[in-house]
């Protein structure tokens, strides 16, 4: 692990990216500003175009461009032609989606799911607007599934069904916005504490709610720096504390030690009525209950809320998530809305009613045992990937409780885009999800090595070219 620490610690801006042979560099590509990114085809494989997003270089996004698919002009063609054109567009799009699904490694999404029996539900506008526990006048909803899923989580996180409140969110971000809002309502004068490597949605919440916040340094692993947290809590002891605890950070998959944070609160004189803890478990919150030796995230401990994403480890065709808090906390956040005939206690108004059905279906099909096996597979394959990379001299890091394999950022942007890697500064990661098989790892690692070789050869040749330019005899 030590090897990668200077990379991880520095978090510095990337060096100018080496221009790969045959791939226009974003900064010198005339195409990048005005022409569709599709022009930037990468020579990685004759069969496969790279994912076409343009890279972010330096600290600002200067050249991103999403090509438009113009709405077809129905007045310009007869009905038959229109139908045929629509079918072609959708078929082409499906093919693109499949290719991109097959070559995705960077984001924590489980792309392996089959919701075949649910396909017929698409024709219904299922909307759980308002509070999940109070039926609104809109009858096309899936609240019964939603409550069933919430009760499943209540069992997982050890809270009595009469003591919790929660809902199925649009994503992990919404869960974080809700958790921090509840914390702020419980402790209006509280200061928000979160580590530097916390997901940006937590600090966005602080900005939205105009809360004072403290960004705490991190350890090399990516965990919160416990000593600095202690020092900050001590310095601000006159005001309550709202703490975000990461159950898996975005980039390094680091898990903050909840028990240690609770001990620090105790040591620094914060009683339970003077702190609120939100656990951001976007990815790993769904995995940690199935990992032996992992610290328990449970409402038996004095935490206020937990949020997870549903489209990450669980896998779902639509983004979704779950947030859960204690029923006693929600009263301060909710108000009755006559128009809905429900209560407003959620961040969003209309809520995707399909999402709870996907979750209900997966949990029913897989059960705890199926999920445990998925977690085991992810952790095993993450270790395999780490070993494969290390064998070939790539610096890597893998936190003990995580399936996020961090490694040196590949220098060929086309490779980064083809495999849709998430990068930050000098590092990239692969989040090993259930859809990442050993075969896919082989394919990825093979191409990574080929990419590294291409870069090294190009650099060596550049040295020779520079030398020739200086040498009059050449």
Ligand X SMILES: Cc1ncc(COP(=O)(O)O)c(C=O)c1O
Would you say the C-alpha torsion 117, 157, 194, 284 has a positive or negative sign?
negative
Q: How far is the CB of 4 from ligand X (least distance, A)?
A: 19
Roughly what angle, to the nearest 10 degrees, separates helices 172-186 and 200-208?
A: 40
Judged by beta carbon, residue 321 or residue 410, the one nearer ligand X is 321
SS (H, E, C) 344-375: ECCCCCCCECCHHHHHHHHHHHHHHHHHHHHH
172 counts as binding ligand X under rule CB under 6 A: yes
Residues in 42-81 that interact with ligand X by CB under 6 A: none
Q: What is the CA angle 338-341-344, rounded to 5?
A: 80
Name the strand (E) or helix (H) holding 427.
strand 427-431
Q: How far is the CB of 199 from ligand X (least distance, A)?
A: 3
Residues in 253-282 that interact with ligand X by CB under 6 A: 280, 282
> Given the DSSP bridges, would you call strands 335-337 and 191-195 parallel, antiparallel or unpaired?
unpaired
250 counts as binding ligand X under rule CB under 6 A: yes
What's the start-to-end Cα distance of the chain, in Å?
Answer: 45
Q: Which of 201, 307, 316, 402 is catalytic?
A: 402
223 counts as binding ligand X under rule CB under 6 A: no
Q: How far is the CB of 175 from ligand X (least distance, A)?
A: 8
Q: How many residues does the chain have?
A: 474
Judged by beta carbon, residue 319 or residue 410, the one nearer ligand X is 319
Look up residue 420 and give its two tokens. Answer: 């849709």
342 is catalytic: no
Task: Output the residue with the shortest Cβ distance to ligand X.
Answer: 172
Which stretch, 43-51, 166-174, 344-352, 452-460, contacts ligand X (CB under 6 A)? 166-174
Which residue is it, tokens 């990468």?
42
353 counts as binding ligand X under rule CB under 6 A: no
195 counts as binding ligand X under rule CB under 6 A: no
Q: Helix or strand or coil: residue 103? A: coil
Judged by beta carbon, residue 126 or residue 347, the one nearer ligand X is 347
Q: How far is the CB of 254 from ligand X (least distance, A)?
A: 10
Q: Which of 7, 150, 191, 283 binds ligand X (CB under 6 A)?
A: 283
What is d(CA 109, CA 134) in angstroms, rounded to the nearest whole number? 31
CA–CA distances in Å: residue 428 to residues 93, 370, 407, 437: 28, 29, 6, 19
DSSP β-bridge partners for residue 195: 216
Residue 218 per-residue DSSP state: B
110 counts as binding ligand X under rule CB under 6 A: no
Q: How far is the CB of 467 from ligand X (least distance, A)?
A: 46
Judged by beta carbon, residue 17 or residue 436, the one nearer ligand X is 436
List residues near ligand X by CB under 6 A: 108, 171-173, 176, 199, 201, 246, 248-250, 280, 282-283, 309, 319, 321
Residues identified as active-site: 402
């Amino acid at each position: 692990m030590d090897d990668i620490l200077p990379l991880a610690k520095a978090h510095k801006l990337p060096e100018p990216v080496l221009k790969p042979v045959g791939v226009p560099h974003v900064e010198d590509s005339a195409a990048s500003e005005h022409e569709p990114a599709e022009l930037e085809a990468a020579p990685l494989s004759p069969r496969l175009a790279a994912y076409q997003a343009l890279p972010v270089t330096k600290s600002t996004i200067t050249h991103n461009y999403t090509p438009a698919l113009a709405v077809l002009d129905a007045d310009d063609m007869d009905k038959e032609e229109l139908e045929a054109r629509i079918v072609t567009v959708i078929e082409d799009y499906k093919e693109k989606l499949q290719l991109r699904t097959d070559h995705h490694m960077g984001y924590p999404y489980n792309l392996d799911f089959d919701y075949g029996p649910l396909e017929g539900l698409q024709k219904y506008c299922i909307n759980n607007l308002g509070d999940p526990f109070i039926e609104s006048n809109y009858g096309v909803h899936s609240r019964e599934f939603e409550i069933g899923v919430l009760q499943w989580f209540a069992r997982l996180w050890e809270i009595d069904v009469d003591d919790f409140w929660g809902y199925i969110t649009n994503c992990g971000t919404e869960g974080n916005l809700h958790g921090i809002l509840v914390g702020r309502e419980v402790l209006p004068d509280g200061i928000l504490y979160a580590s530097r490597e916390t997901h940006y949605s937590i600090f966005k919440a602080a900005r939205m709610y105009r809360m004072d916040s403290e960004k705490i340094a991190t350890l090399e692993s990516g965990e919160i720096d416990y000593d600095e947290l202690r020092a900050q809590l001590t310095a601000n002891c006159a005001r309550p504390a709202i703490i975000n605890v990461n159950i898996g950070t975005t980039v390094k998959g680091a898990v903050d030690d909840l028990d240690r944070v609770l001990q620090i609160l105790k040591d620094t004189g914060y009683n339970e009525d003077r702190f609120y803890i939100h656990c951001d478990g976007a990815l790993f919150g769904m995995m940690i209950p199935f990992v032996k030796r992992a610290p328990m995230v449970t409402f038996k401990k004095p935490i206020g809320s937990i949020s997870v994403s549903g489209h990450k480890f669980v896998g779902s065709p639509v983004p979704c998530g779950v947030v859960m808090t204690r029923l006693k906390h929600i009263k301060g956040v909710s108000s009755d809305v006559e128009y809905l005939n429900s209560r407003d206690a959620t961040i969003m108004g209309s809520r995707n009613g399909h999402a709870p059905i996907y979750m209900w279906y997966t949990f029913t099909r897989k059960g705890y045992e199926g999920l445990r096996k998925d977690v085991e597979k992810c952790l095993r394959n993450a270790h395999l990937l780490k070993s494969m990379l290390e064998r070939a001299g790539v610096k890597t890091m893998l936190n003990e409780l995580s399936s996020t394999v961090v490694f040196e950022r590949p220098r060929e942007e086309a490779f980064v885009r083809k495999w849709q890697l998430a990068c930050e500064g000098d590092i990239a990661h692969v989040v090993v999800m259930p859809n990442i098989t050993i075969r896919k790892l082989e394919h990825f690692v093979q191409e990574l090595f080929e990419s590294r070789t291409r870069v090294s050869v190009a650099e060596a040749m550049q040295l020779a070219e520079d030398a020739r330019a200086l040498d009059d005899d050449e």
